[in-house]
A and B are shown apart, each in its own frame.
Chain A
Amino acid sequence: MTRRGRRVGLPLPALLLAGVAVAFFALPLVGLLWRAPWSNAWTYLTDDAALTALRLSLVTSLCATALSIVFGVPLAWLLARVDFPGRGAVRALCLLSMVLPPVVGGVALFFALGRRGVVGQYLDEWFGVTLPFTTAGVVVAQTFVAMPFLVITVESALRQLDPRLEDASRTLGASRWYTFRRVTLPAIRPALIAGAVLSWARAFGEFGATITFAGNFPGTTQTMPLAVFLSLETNPEEAIVLALVMVAVSFAVLVGLRDRWFGAVGRPEQVAP
C-alpha cells in the first residue's frame, strides 16, 4: 500500500527525465572524485596558498551577502510595493547582471568604478579610494552579480504577502518602520534566508567579474574559483582538490537550506477560519 501511495502522481516518463537530470548533475561530481589525487590531497589542502584563497573567498562572499541584504531588501520592497513609472525597466536593470556574462559585468564595473571610471575617478580624487585590484573590489564584483538573487526572492515574497498584515500593524499604532521590522521582516524571513543563501552561493562561485575587475593577486583578490582556474594550468591535481573543497562547502550550505525554507518562500500568511 505504501509503495502504491508513493508512486501516485508521478508518471513514468517524468520520473525517467528527472532521473536523467539528477545524473546530469551528479556525473561531473563523480568525474572530479574519480580523478582526485587522494594520496596527495592533504598536502594540497594544507597548502598556504589554498588556505589563503579559501579564507579570502569566505570573507568576501559573506561581505557581498551582507551588502546584498542591506541594499537588496529595500530595493525588493521598492519594486514590490511602490508603483512608480518605469518600475519594469528599473527591475530589469537591477536583475541584468543575472543574465549578463560576468566578464562583461566586470568590464562595465571597471569603466564605472575604475581609477579612470565615471565614478571611480572621483572616489580616487576625493576619498583616495581605489576599488579595482583590491579585496574591496572583489566584494563589489561579487555583490554586483549576487544581489539580484536576493532581490528576486524577497520581492516575490513581498508580493505574495497579504498587505493587510501591514495595514493591521499601522491601525494598531505602529509606524512604517516598526511595521517593517516587526511584521514584514518576520513574515518574509524564509524568503530572506533563501535569497541570502542563493546570493552567497553566487558570490562564492563568482569568477568572471572578479578576475576582470579585481584581478588575480594571491592574498588580496585571488579567491577560490580564481585559484582553481590558475592551478588548472600549473597543477591540475591541485585544481581538482581545490574544486572539491568548493563543492563540499557549497553542498553543505545548500543542504543546510532545507526544503522548508524553499517551500515557505512567499507563502502568504493565512489565518485558519
Chain B
Amino acid sequence: MTLDARIGLRLGSLDLQVELAAHPGEVVALLGPNGAGKSTVLRCLAGLEPVDSGRVSIDGVVVDDPAADVFVEPEDRPIGFVFQDYVLFDHLTVLENVAYGMRARGVAKADARQRALEWLERFDLATYSRQRPGALSGGQAQRVALARALATNPRLLLLDEPLAALDVGTRAAVRRDLRQHLASFDGMRLVVTHDPVDAHALADRVVVLEAGRVVQTGTLAEVTAHPRTRYVADLVGVNLITGDVVDGVLTTPTGARVVIADAAAGPALATIRPHSVLLVRGDATGSSARNSWPGTIVDIDRLGERVRVVIIGELPLTAEITAAALDELQLRLGDRVHASVKATDIEVTPA
C-alpha cells in the first residue's frame, strides 16, 4: 500500500534520476526550484511520461518498468491529478467536470451525476454545478479540480503547484481549505510546490529536488536545521513559526512573543530567514532588534562558509552565521545565547 518509484528520464536538458516513496496517509511535498523536474516526476507517476529506466509501483502494482516491458496507461492507474492552473474542461459544466472520470469509467450517466453532486456538496460547490468553470474564482476552480480528481477514488493523489495560480489575498484561505480536504483523503498524497510555506502547511515530509536529483528528504524542521545545499538553505530552510497575531505581536502556542511589522490580525505564519537571526552571548540589550529570545545551542552544522546554529528555548530557531563569526563568538554546543531578529525581517502570511 505504498508508492515506490525509481525514475530515470532524459527530457530535453532535464536529466532526472529520482527515488521516491510515499505511504498511505502521508502527505509528501516535492520542493524545488523551477526546472528541477518536479512536475515531470508527477507526470512519470501518472503515466503521462514513460520513464527511460527505473521502476514505478503503486500499491504493489508495477505500473512502469521499461526493463520488464511493463507500462500501464494513465487511465488504468489508481491516481488523481490536480494540474497547475487546474485545467478544467471549459466546454463542460462544473458538475460534468466532476462526473467526467466516472463517465469515462463506464458509470451510468444518472449515477455519475448523482455522485458528482455529492462531491460538489462536500466541497461547498453545489450552487455552481451548472456553471462553466470559466466563471469560477481561483479557489473554487481548485476545489472543482480536487473534487474531479478525488471522484475517481484514487489511491495516489498528485497535486502540481496547487496554490501557484492564486493571488496573495485568497491564497491563505485556499491553503487552509486544501489542507482540510487533503486531510480527509486517506491515500497517498504528493504535492509539488516551490514554496516552503505551502510545504509546511500541507506536508508531513518534504523531498527537495534540484536539477533532477533528490538532494534532501525529511521533515521541514530537519531540512531547515541541516540543509545540504545552498538552494535548500536559502529557499527551503527557513524558520516557520505559527501563532496568533494581536496588536502587532504574534504569540506562538508555546507562549513565545514575536513582534512583527505587519498589522494583520488572526492566525498567521511568520517566516524568519536564518541569516536574519543575530546571535549574541549573554544579554541582547543594546541591540536595536525588538525581538530577543534566550536559548541553548543544540546543533552546529557547517555548510561551506556558512554555519547553521540550531537553538532551542522559548522560540526554537535556526540561525545562519558565517564561519568567521562562529569562531569569533566561540560558540559551542550547549552554550547559552540570545537570538534576536528585527521586526522588519519577519515575513507574515495569514495561515
Contacts and interface: CB of A to CB of B under 8 A. Distances in A.
The answer to whether A and B belong to the same complex is: yes
B79 interface: yes
Given A169-B100, A173-B152, 20 more contacts: A162-B87, A165-B89, A167-B46, A170-B47, A171-B46, A171-B47, A171-B77, A171-B81, A172-B100, A172-B101, A172-B152, A173-B76, A174-B100, A178-B104, A186-B91, A187-B91, A269-B89, A271-B85, A272-B135, A273-B85
Given A165-B89, A187-B91, A271 B134 contact: yes
Interface residues of A, number: 23
A173 B152 CA distance: 8
A190 B244 CA distance: 53
B246 interface: no
B167 A172 contact: no
Interface of A: 162, 164-165, 167-175, 178, 182-183, 186-187, 189, 269-273
Given A172-B148, A186-B91, A272 B75 contact: no
Nearest to B102: A173
A165 to B, nearest CB: 6
B90 A270 contact: yes
Interface residues of B, number: 37
A82 to B, nearest CB: 16
A269 B90 contact: yes
B83 interface: yes
B149 interface: yes
B88 A170 contact: no
Provide the main secondary structure of the chain A interface. helix
Interface of B: 43, 46-48, 73-77, 79-81, 83, 85-91, 100-101, 104-105, 133-138, 141, 148-149, 152, 165-167
B88 A171 contact: no
B90 to A, nearest CB: 5
A171 B47 CA distance: 8
B101 A170 contact: no
A183 B141 CA distance: 18
In the complex, which of the residues B90, B165, B166 has the most CB atoms of chain A within 10 Å of its own CB atom? B90
Nearest to B136: A272
B86 A271 contact: yes
B105 A173 contact: yes
A144 to B, nearest CB: 33
A186 B74 CA distance: 21
B141 A169 contact: no
A182 B48 CA distance: 18
B134 A273 contact: no
Given A271-B90, A273-B85, A175 B136 contact: no
Contacts of B74: 167, 170-171
Contact of B149 (A172, A270, A272): A172
Contacts of A271: 85-88, 90, 133-134, 141
Nearest to A164: B87
A171 B134 contact: no
Nearest to B78: A173
Contacts of B73: 170, 175
Given A183-B89, A271-B133, A273-B165, A171 B79 contact: yes
Contacts of B136: 272
B166 to A, nearest CB: 7
Contact of B80 (A171, A186, A187, A273): A171
A173 B75 contact: yes
A189 B89 CA distance: 14
A174 B133 contact: no
A168 B83 contact: yes
A182 B92 CA distance: 10
Contacts of A170: 47-48, 73-75
Contacts of A171: 46-48, 74-75, 77, 79-81, 149
Contacts of B85: 271, 273
B75 A167 contact: no
A169 B148 CA distance: 10
